[in-house]
Chain A
Amino acid sequence: MNTLSTKHLLGIEPLTPEDIKLIFEVADNFKDVINRPIKKVPTLRDITIANLFFENSTRTKLSFELAEKRLSADVVNFSAASSSVKKGETLIDTVNNILAMKVDMVVMRHPSPGAAMFLSKEVDSVIINAGDGTHEHPTQALLDAYSIREKLGDVKGKKVVIVGDILHSRVAISNIHCLKKLGAEVKVCGPLTLMPKHIESLGVEVETNLKKALEWCDVVNMLRIQHERQEIKHFPSLKEYTLQYGLTTELLESIGKDIVIMHPGPINRGVEISSEIADSKNAIILNQVENGVAIRMAVIYLLAGKI
């Protein structure tokens, strides 16, 4: 097996465990590349990639752009704020116009769930989903699982708890799919108002008590409260949320074991995680960011081979 079973990366759900392992193996090589004095390889010098961001992003956009540039691809960037989308152009028209300029691959973030899937059916190009609404964020899940593999040796059999705003989190959904496919045990933890209905159908357990969840797990992935997606209030106050679901030194010390701390960013220090914990030795938050570039290089490399 040295090729992916899919032409696009629309989500983790359609991938096979072998696909994920293949991406990890190739990412190992790219991690080596980005730690050399010259961090660039000429592999994709004849490929042009468009980054279409219909929603704000700092880390993901930067990470994709770096990954593309380190593979020597040509990159064009597009953000909805400064485009003709504001003038009433449809998504398909926008993308077809960009493809008419001979672009080979599209990386897209969009506020609507399913936007990447829709696009993959309507236009003739390789699509990489960089986050579609509350649906999936596949590269984030890949880099999270890759970081666990790097820190703990393997993902299989590990106990991972995802804490916070599961309801609005594409990171949570993609993470659950990815971790389950790799054989990890997954729990989600947070107030019931922030749990999607039927989340158990993905094969995860719901735990509302953070301390109990921490006592069970090897890895904790802390999510941010997504105020921008919340139309109604899901909990009385941020202070109250922090008291019940904030990760603090006292809480971790009371557990008395080493737990790997992850966060997909952006961090709200003092809300879901204390500054001390975010900067502690068990936190692999910055490793996640570094691995993000390697994972995205691997995904782009493997998909570009199919153009």
Chain B
Amino acid sequence: MGLQEREILNEAEVDILISRMTRQLIENHNLFENSILIGVQPRGIYVANRLKQKLKELSGIDVTTGAIDTTFFRDDFRRKDKPLLPSVNNIDFSIESKKIILTDDVLFSGRTVRAAMDALMTYGRPSSIELLVLVDRRFSRNLPIEANYVGKYIDTLSNERVEVMWKETENIDKVILVKK
């Protein structure tokens, strides 16, 4: 039996979710004077970029965005066959006393978010960290971590994988569920 694919979100639906979460962010962060969006490498940066774009469209705010790489902070080093290769960090501003919104495409075990928070703390002490994800695979957490903003909750089995595609990399905005 090969791979089975099922579409969960199409382009229009992804856009609706991004718009809704942007509005939720505006409610909580007003003019974003003290708030920063940080995408978790490698795929969370696309979420951050979309939110930044949408925020500009909806309210003209140009929010600061960055990227954080979790490779050196992961807890599965040496549990994989090959060492993971890191991506770049892009934090050329102070995060001291800032409100950080971490963004990622899919929330699954929570381990990446844990690593991202640890990585972030090496840059300084933010006043708060929130988590925003496009897709939350609920009931699959290994750690007590929950997102503050969720695009869509989905229920999945452990042999399924959620893939988020972006125009920037796959030429289409789409979320699919792949069954092995």
Do A and B bind? yes
Binding site for B on A (CB under 8 A): 2-3, 22, 25-26, 28-29, 32-33, 36-38, 40-44, 46, 71, 301-302, 304-307
Supposing A3-B82, A36-B123, A304-B78 touch, asked if A42 and B88 sit within 8 A by C-beta, the answer is no
Q: Are A43 and B122 in contact (CB under 8 A)?
A: no
Name the contact of A305 in the complex, choosing from B77, B119, B122 (C-beta under 8 A): B77
Q: Are B69 and A40 in contact (CB under 8 A)?
A: no
Supposing A37-B122, A37-B123 touch, asked if A43 and B77 sit within 8 A by C-beta, the answer is yes
The interface residues of chain B lying within 8 Å CB-to-CB of A29 are 69, 71-72, 86, 88-89
Supposing A41-B72, A43-B77 touch, asked if A2 and B121 sit within 8 A by C-beta, the answer is no
The interface residues of chain A lying within 8 Å CB-to-CB of B74 are 43
The interface residues of chain A lying within 8 Å CB-to-CB of B124 are 37
Chain B nearest CB: distance from A11 CB in Å? Answer: 21
| B32 at interface by CB-CB < 8 Å | no
* B: contact size bracket: 20 to 34
Q: Are B122 and A304 in contact (CB under 8 A)?
A: no
Q: Are A44 and B121 in contact (CB under 8 A)?
A: no
The interface residues of chain B lying within 8 Å CB-to-CB of A42 are 72-73, 118
Classify the interface of chain B: helix, strand, loop or mixed.
loop
Known: A32-B89, A43-B72, A305-B82. 6 other contacts (CB 8 A): A2-B83, A29-B71, A37-B122, A38-B122, A43-B71, A305-B83
| B172 at interface by CB-CB < 8 Å | no
Q: Are A307 and B83 in contact (CB under 8 A)?
A: no
The interface residues of chain A lying within 8 Å CB-to-CB of B119 are 41
The interface residues of chain A lying within 8 Å CB-to-CB of B73 are 41-43
Please provide the chain B residues from 104 to 124 with a CB less than 8 Å away from any CB of chain A in the complex: 118-119, 121-124
Cα separation A26 to B73 with both chains bound (whole Å): 15
Cα separation A265 to B78 with both chains bound (whole Å): 35
The interface residues of chain B lying within 8 Å CB-to-CB of A25 are 85
Supposing A29-B69, A302-B83, A305-B82 touch, asked if A44 and B77 sit within 8 A by C-beta, the answer is yes
Cα separation A263 to B80 with both chains bound (whole Å): 39
Chain B nearest CB: distance from A248 CB in Å? Answer: 40
Q: Are A3 and B122 in contact (CB under 8 A)?
A: no
Q: Are B78 and A307 in contact (CB under 8 A)?
A: yes
Question: Which residue of chain B is the closest to A33 with respect to CB atoms?
Answer: B72
Q: Are A46 and B84 in contact (CB under 8 A)?
A: no
Cα separation A31 to B73 with both chains bound (whole Å): 16
Question: Which residue of chain A is the closest to B91 with respect to CB atoms?
Answer: A36
The interface residues of chain B lying within 8 Å CB-to-CB of A37 are 122-124
The interface residues of chain B lying within 8 Å CB-to-CB of A26 are 85-86
**Central interface residue in B71, B73, B78, by most chain A CB within 10 Å:** B78
Cα separation A42 to B84 with both chains bound (whole Å): 14
Question: Which residue of chain A is the closest to B94 with respect to CB atoms?
Answer: A37
Cα separation A44 to B86 with both chains bound (whole Å): 15
Q: Are A3 and B83 in contact (CB under 8 A)?
A: yes
Chain B nearest CB: distance from A209 CB in Å? Answer: 44
